[in-house]
């Protein structure tokens, strides 16, 4: 199986009045075709910025991006337009990501219009009908406006729009976070079915660990713009090596009364991504922090095959099994 | 066990263009002193409206408490006038709202906001006494008292929520209503805040109503649970009843919709359809249109709460039938 | 296979048959319910018709003088009476409507177009363009609009077109700011990002996504702006910088009639009422339009 997306040392910095904001700071990973990479982290970790930078909705500051073997780090406008046929995004907020003045069928057919996929209007409507059916929207909703529909249906419109040009890769930016639990399950099932049916590759961004475990093949854990741990989903939930990942998993409120949750409480708050101090970003909150942690930023190391961690003291913390 | 809150047959309606919106329908439950009840449900279930009714803060004129009794420490709150309610709010019953970003006044220092509630509920204390108590509250929630003069925007989300908790607990209320207190927070911060609330609850012996849609949070914090759907309580019991002996099809559906962190589910089992329009509730059982266990009579008869096992109530005709069979 | 085709065809029919109502049709339905706004609109229509058909409706010409019949009180022959030169006030109101309404709409139109273009450039491109344009607007707004109009009229000379130009220049900043604000609000919405993500060009984004969301405030500003322009025109004529005699214009009629207010109230009151009615009905309609176009009130 080939890698459909590869990212190397990707950086995205923002200039702010307070200084340089390191939103994404040296991130590297790859995703195989047909698989799902889950990207987890809390607010400010840079996961949304990562997704948008890969799609060129934001310009990268440094690093390289390869898509289907081609270097797409710097592309011209017409190249970008072609690229967007294959790389799509589903947004978190199903309300603000839809133009309130366009009805359902207009929203879904817009990508088809932009890429002039069909010459014949009938054929285009046929495709719209097919897309609506695929995502579970009743055809009589074609003339409805977003504000007339509930969150679940609105998100389905977003999914249909993303699928219109038959993309190969979709960035899903917290697509179910704004939805009720029972609707979340509906949309997650839909996305999994589509992946199997159409061979889609997903980058699934979320802060919800239960969801990410359910849907991901591999998981990237981010903290303040850096990757702290990267491994397959199953493996990550069995063994975590980075202290942040441990705390994150321990913090999950599991709906099970028998489970005694040993919460690892992190002290303090997340530090600012603006002009970050040298050393490990997690150092101020880490109970295992040592001198070197404050001076040098840890590099990603392969602890066991396929499982990468960025921590100076990983062996000591885990009394290496 | 002493009962601190006893709600009986609460009905709340809203007037809208589409007709009468029945937000809360015949809700009854009790809370023992020192315990926590979780009010669980999805958007539109009526949890927040129930909580606002206890404080008599249902937004009028379109919102109205149609009927019911809310007995707090033996007295019916719905019979009290506004002046009496103001004494109770913040003093005996406090509320924490969902969004810490907007719950705090951006132009008043956090210290003063805590001091305000103390001032409103103690005629005798002097200004310095009030300030001291406010600083104590800051320390109690884990914020250095040196930050008394800081403004809300200088704090992160988690810390703002701590300030909100400090305000709510400043006058040592008997009852704390927490409306989705950690939903807007990151997972690790949520853990911190929940830990804090548990600790304070224990120290100050506060009873709590915890409103949430997160069954994980409920498992860690509550003694009893009431599951709400379309303005009604469809299942009620202690933790074991709800988590181990789930009876109502909606509750079962909720559990099945959540990805299991321990097992690998290939597929979630969502509840098909949507919650009914509260302006247009169906005949019979409100959940029937989405229920996989529905029987013909479910669409005609409205189920009443039935005690399945002592303390475990369920509003379902099928469950009722099976319970009767087992007797 | 046939069944599947039938199903697909049915779906296509459902979709294309679904008459999506444009936002304007929806707005129209909502305005219809607002009786006060409809009243305003009807009054405006009456005034416009009066202006258009002045030739047919006016019993006398606007400069038809007869000193013998000066200061006739309103009667059957002269519904609004006659002025100091014996001219039929009713006829002069009708002809004056042409001028006043023309000024109102044209001056406002010019100001709106100019302001929209400037505001759009400032809002979409930001940075230096935004700065330059907004400072230019600041300068214009720093001068009281009437004084500005006077200055322009004084520089270019009086006359109908110059008066309109003067008023429109003074109005530009208001439209520029409104449009700029709209664009800034809309620009950051996620659906604009979504439009980029599906490959839409800048032009498409501006025309299809940003503009329709900005039109509503512009339209409302225009209806309210017309009222303001008429007042400004009246004020300019009042001080003699507007249209010249014997042309009928409500403002100049008001100005000339002032001295007779005690003895012959109708000479000044009638034009005043005409101005007031126009502005009132424009405001009522403008308010109704604003409410009808507000998506949050849907």
pLDDT digits (tens, 9 = 90+) for A16-44: 888 899 999 999 999 999 999 999 998 88
If you average pLDDT over every residue of chain C, what do you get? Answer: 82
- The pLDDT, as a whole number, for residue C45 is 92
Nearest residue on chain C to A160, judged by CA atoms?
A: C198
Indicate yes or no: CB of B220 within 8 angstroms of CB of A192.
Answer: no
> Six-digit token pair at A300?
């990603």
Shortest distance between the Cα of B304 and any Cα of chain A, in A, equals: 24
Measured between CB atoms, does C190 come within 8 Å of chain A? yes
Decide if pLDDT at B70 tops 70.
yes
Q: Mind giving me the DSSP string for chain C?
A: -HHHHHHHHHHHHHHHHS-PPPHHHHHHHHHHH-HHHHHHHHHHHHHHHHHHTHHHH-SS-TT---GGGTTPPS-SSSTT-B-TT--BHHHHHHHHHHHHHHHHHHHHHHHHHHHHHHHHHHHHH-HHHHHHHHHHHHHHHHS-HHHHHHHHHHHH-SSHHHHHHHHHHHHHHHHHHHHHHHHHHHHTSHHHHHHHHTT--HHHIIIIIIHHHHHHHHHHHHHHHHHHHHHHHHHHHHTT-SSPTTS--HHHHHHHHGGGTTT-HHHHHHHHHHHHHHHHHHHHHHHHHHHHH-GGG-
Report the candidate in C133, C160, C176, C151 with the shortest Cα–Cα distance to residue C249.
Answer: C160
pLDDT band for position C101 (cuts 50, 70, 90): confident
Please report the DSSP string for B107-159 in residue order. TS-HHHHHHHHHHHT-SS--HHHHHHHHHHHHHHTT--GGGGG--GGGS-HHH
Question: Which DSSP letter does residue A300 get?
Answer: P
Under 8 Å between Cβ of A223 and A284: no
Token pair 């709340």: residue: B12
CA nearest A97 in C: which residue?
C191
- Please name which of A70, A81, A46, A100 lies closest in space to residue A220, comparing C-alpha atoms: A46
The pLDDT value recorded for residue C298 is 45
How far off is chain A from B275, nearest CA to CA, in Å? Answer: 10
| C202-211: average pLDDT | 83
Mean pLDDT over the full length of chain A: 89
The tens digit of pLDDT for each residue in A228-241 reads 999 998 899 988 99
| Average pLDDT value for residue range C19-31 | 65
Show Cβ contacts of residue C286 under 8 Å, excluding neighbours closer than 6 positions.
Answer: C40, C220, C223, C224, C227
The residue that leads in pLDDT, B260 or B327, is B260
Contacts of B195 in chain A (CB under 8 A): 263, 265
Token readout for B59 is 């937004």
The span from the CA of C80 to the CA of B290, in Å, is 72
What are the residues whose beta carbons fall under 8 Å from the beta carbon of B266, sequence distance 6 or more?
none
| Percent of the residues in chain A that have a pLDDT greater than 70, as a whole number | 98
* B292-318: average pLDDT: 91
Residue C12 has pLDDT above 70, yes or no: no
pLDDT band at C85 (very low <50, low <70, confident <90, very high): confident
Q: Which of C115, C213, B274, B205 is nearest to A138 (CA)?
A: B274
The residue assigned the tokens 């949309």 is A187
Give φ, ψ of B87 to 5 degrees: -70, -35
Alpha carbon of A27 to those of A123, A277, C259: distances in Å? 42, 18, 82
pLDDT of residue C19: 47
Token readout for B40 is 């669980």
Q: What is the pLDDT of residues B80-104, one digit of tens each?
A: 888 888 888 888 999 998 777 788 9
Q: Which two tokens stand for residue B195?
A: 């830990």
At A63-112, the pLDDT tens digits run: 999 999 999 999 999 999 999 999 999 998 888 899 988 889 899 999 99
pLDDT of B297 over the 50 cut = yes
A-to-C residue pairs, Cβ atoms closer than 8 angstroms: 95
Would you call C15 and A125 a contact, using CB atoms and an 8 Å cutoff?
yes
Gap between the Cα atoms of B205 and B148, Å rounded: 26
* Contacting residues of A for B268, CB less than 8 Å apart: 185, 188-189, 214
The conformation of residue A239, written as its DSSP 8-state character, comes to -
Q: pLDDT tier at C169 (50, 70, 90 boundaries)?
A: confident
Q: Answer whether residue B139 shows pLDDT above 50.
A: yes
Average pLDDT (B126-135) is 90
Which residue do the tokens 């609109």 mark? C41
* Residue C103 near residue C160 (C-beta atoms within 8 A): yes
pLDDT at A321: 43
Cα-Cα end-to-end distance for chain A = 31
What is the total residue count of chain A? 321
> Is the alpha carbon torsion for C99, C104, C110, C111 positive or negative?
positive
Q: How many CB atoms lie within 10 A of CB C24?
A: 14
Contact A101 C204 (CB under 8 A): no
Residues in chain B with CB shorter than 8 Å from the CB of A182 are 42, 253-254, 257, 270-271
| Closest-approach residue (CA) in chain C for A96 | C190
Residue B191 touches chain A, beta carbons under 8 Å: yes
Helix (H) or strand (E) holding B199: helix B187-204
Chains touching chain A, criterion 3+ CB pairs below 8 Å: B, C
Compute how many other C-beta atoms are within 10 angstroms of the C-beta atom of residue A303: 20
Residue B326: name the closest of B304, B309, B305 by CA.
Answer: B309
**CB distance from B257 to chain A under 8 Å?**
yes
Separation between Cα atoms, residue B294 and residue B298, nearest integer Å: 6
Element (H, E) at A4: strand A3-16
Pick the more confident residue, C167 or A6.
A6
CA distance B93 to chain A (A): 27
Strand arrangement, sheet containing B93-96: B93-96, B175-179, B207-212, B36-40, B224-229, B232-238, B312-314, B306-309
Tell if the CB–CB gap between C8 and A129 is shorter than 8 Å: yes
Report the pLDDT value the prediction gives residue A245, as an integer from 0 to 100. Answer: 92
Which residue in chain C has the smallest CA separation from A98? C191
**Cβ–Cβ below 8 Å for A253 and B157:** no
Contacts of B187 in chain A (CB under 8 A): 42, 207, 209, 248, 251-252
| The B19-32 sheet, strands edge to edge | B19-32, B3-16, B63-72, B75-76
Helix (H, G, I), strand (E, B) or coil at A65: strand
């Amino acid at each position: 199986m080939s890698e459909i997306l590869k990212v190397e040392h990707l950086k995205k910095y923002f200039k702010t009045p307070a200084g340089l904001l390191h939103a994404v700071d040296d991130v590297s990973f790859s995703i195989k075709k047909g698989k799902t990479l889950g990207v987890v982290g809390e607010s400010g970790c840079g996961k949304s910025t990562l997704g948008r930078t890969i799609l060129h909705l934001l310009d990268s500051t440094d690093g390289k991006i390869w898509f289907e073997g081609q270097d797409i780090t710097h592309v011209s406008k017409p190249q970008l337009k072609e690229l967007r046929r294959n790389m799509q995004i589903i947004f978190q907020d199903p309300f603000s990501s839809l133009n309130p003045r366009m009805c359902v069928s207009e929203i879904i057919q817009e990508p088809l219009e932009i890429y002039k996929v069909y010459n014949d209007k009938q054929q285009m409507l046929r495709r719209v009908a097919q897309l609506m059916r695929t995502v579970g929207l009743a055809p009589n909703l074609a003339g409805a406006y977003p504000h007339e529909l509930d969150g679940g249906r609105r998100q389905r419109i977003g999914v249909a729009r993303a699928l219109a040009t038959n993309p190969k890769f979709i960035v899903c930016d917290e697509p179910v976070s704004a939805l009720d639990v029972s609707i979340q399950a509906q949309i997650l099932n839909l996305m999994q079915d589509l992946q199997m049916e159409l061979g889609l590759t997903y980058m699934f961004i979320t802060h919800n660990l239960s969801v990410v475990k359910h849907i991901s093949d591999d998981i990237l854990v981010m903290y303040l713009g850096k990757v702290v741990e990267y491994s397959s989903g199953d493996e990550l939930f069995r063994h975590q090596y980075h202290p942040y990942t441990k705390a994150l998993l321990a913090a999950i409120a599991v709906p099970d009364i028998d489970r005694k949750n040993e919460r690892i409480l992190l002290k303090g708050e997340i530090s600012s991504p603006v002009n970050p101090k040298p050393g490990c970003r997690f150092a101020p909150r880490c109970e295992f922090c040592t001198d070197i942690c404050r001076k040098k930023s840890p590099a990603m190391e392969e602890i066991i095959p396929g499982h990468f961690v960025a921590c100076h003291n990983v062996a000591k913390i885990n009394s290496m099994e | 066990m002493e009962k601190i809150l006893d709600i009986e047959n609460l009905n709340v309606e809203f007037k809208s263009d589409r007709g009468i919106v029945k937000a809360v329908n015949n809700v009854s439950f009790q809370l023992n002193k020192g315990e926590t009840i979780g009010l669980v449900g999805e958007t539109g279930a009526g949890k927040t409206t129930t909580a606002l009714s206890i404080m008599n803060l249902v937004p009028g004129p379109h919102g109205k408490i149609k009927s019911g009794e809310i007995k707090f420490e033996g007295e019916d709150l719905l019979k009290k006038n506004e002046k009496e309610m103001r004494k109770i709010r913040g003093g005996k019953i406090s509320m924490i709202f969902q969004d810490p970003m907007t719950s705090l006044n951006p132009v008043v220092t956090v210290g003063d906001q805590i001091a305000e509630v103390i001032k409103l509920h103690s005629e005798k204390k002097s200004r310095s006494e009030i300030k001291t108590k406010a600083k104590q509250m800051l320390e109690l929630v884990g914020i250095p008292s040196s930050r008394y003069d800081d403004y809300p925007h200088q704090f992160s989300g988690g810390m703002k929520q701590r300030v909100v908790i400090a305000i709510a607990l400043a006058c040592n209320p008997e009852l704390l209503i927490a409306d989705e207190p950690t939903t807007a927070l990151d997972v690790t911060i949520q853990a911190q805040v929940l830990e804090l609330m548990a600790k304070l609850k224990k120290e100050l012996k506060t009873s709590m109503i915890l409103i949430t849609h997160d069954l994980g949070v409920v498992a860690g914090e509550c003694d009893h649970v009431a599951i709400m759907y379309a303005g009604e309580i469809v299942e009620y019991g202690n933790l074991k009843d709800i988590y181990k002996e789930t009876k109502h099809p909606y509750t079962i559906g909720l559990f099945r919709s959540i990805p299991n962190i321990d097992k690998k589910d290939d597929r979630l089992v969502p509840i098909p359809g949507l919650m009914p329009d509260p302006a247009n509730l169906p005949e019979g059982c409100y959940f029937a249109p989405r229920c996989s266990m529905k029987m013909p009579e479910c669409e005609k008869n409205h189920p009443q709460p039935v005690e399945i096992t002592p303390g475990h109530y369920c509003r379902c005709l099928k469950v009722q039938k099976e319970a009767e069979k087992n007797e | 296979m046939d069944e599947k085709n039938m199903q697909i065809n049915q779906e296509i029919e459902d979709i294309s048959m679904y008459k999506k109502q444009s936002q304007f049709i929806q707005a129209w339905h909502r305005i219809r319910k607002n009786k006060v706004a409809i009243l305003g609109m009807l009054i405006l229509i009456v005034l416009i018709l009066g202006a258009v058909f002045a030739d047919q409706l006016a019993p006398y010409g606007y400069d038809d003088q007869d000193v013998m019949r000066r200061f006739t009180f309103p009667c059957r022959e002269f519904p609004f009476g006659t002025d100091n030169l014996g001219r039929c006030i009713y006829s002069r109101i009708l002809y004056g409507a042409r001028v006043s309404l023309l000024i109102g709409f044209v001056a406002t139109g010019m100001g709106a177009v100019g302001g929209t273009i400037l505001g759009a450039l400032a809002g979409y491109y930001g940075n230096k363009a935004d700065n330059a344009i907004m400072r230019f607007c600041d300068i214009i707004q720093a001068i009281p609009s009437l004084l500005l109009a006077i200055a322009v009229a004084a520089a270019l000379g009086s006359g109908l077109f110059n008066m309109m130009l003067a008023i429109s220049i003074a109005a530009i900043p208001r439209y520029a700011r409104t449009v700029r604000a709209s664009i800034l609000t809309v620009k950051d919405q996620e659906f604009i990002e979504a439009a980029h993500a599906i490959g839409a060009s800048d032009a498409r984004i501006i025309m299809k996504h940003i503009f329709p969301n900005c039109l509503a405030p512009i339209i409302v500003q225009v209806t309210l702006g017309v009222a303001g322009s008429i007042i400004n025109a009246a004020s300019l004529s009042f001080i003699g910088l507007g249209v010249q005699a014997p042309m009928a214009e409500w403002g100049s009629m008001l100005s000339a009639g002032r001295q007779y207010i005690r003895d012959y109230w109708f000479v000044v009151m009638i034009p005043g009422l005409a101005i007031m009615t126009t502005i009132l009905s424009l405001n009522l309609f403008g308010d109704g339009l604003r409410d009808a176009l507000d998506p949050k009130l849907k």
